[in-house]
Amino acid sequence: MKNNPEGFTFETTRDGLVTIWHHGRRAAQLKGKEASKFLAFTESASGEEIQHRMARLTGNYKRGNER
């Protein structure tokens, strides 16, 4: 059984700010180069890969050592 992250969404503003939400609560905000890199990644990645990236960026990522 895999522990795939889920429940992450993101939105962008006109000025390039990216807000990441987890189950309706704001989890992180990205600006500048970090936001640009994330948006470039989302253009070619699958939905599951995007969920993993958002989990890593917010710190809500299981590293495999939790039981």
Decide: 5 and 61 in contact? Cβ < 8 Å: yes
User: Per the domain annotation, does 19 fall within a domain?
Assistant: yes
Residue type, 8: F
User: Per the domain annotation, does 50 fall within a domain?
Assistant: yes
User: Per the domain annotation, does 67 fall within a domain?
Assistant: no
Question: From CA 15, how far away is CA 24, in angstroms rounded?
Answer: 22
Q: Where in the sequence is the domain holding 50, given as residue range(s)? A: 8-58
Q: What percent of the chain has pLDDT over 90?
A: 67
Burial of 30 (0-12, 13-18, 19+ CB in 10 A): buried
Decide: 60 and 44 in contact? Cβ < 8 Å: no
User: Per the domain annotation, does 42 fall within a domain?
Assistant: yes
pLDDT band for position 5 (50/70/90)?
confident
- Is the pLDDT at 57 greater than 50, yes or no? yes
User: Per the domain annotation, does 34 fall within a domain?
Assistant: yes
Number of domains the chain contains: 1
- Is the pLDDT at 63 greater than 90, yes or no? no
User: Per the domain annotation, does 64 fall within a domain?
Assistant: no
User: Per the domain annotation, does 3 fall within a domain?
Assistant: no
Question: From CA 1, how far away is CA 8, in angstroms rounded?
Answer: 20
User: Per the domain annotation, does 65 fall within a domain?
Assistant: no
pLDDT band for position 4 (50/70/90)?
confident
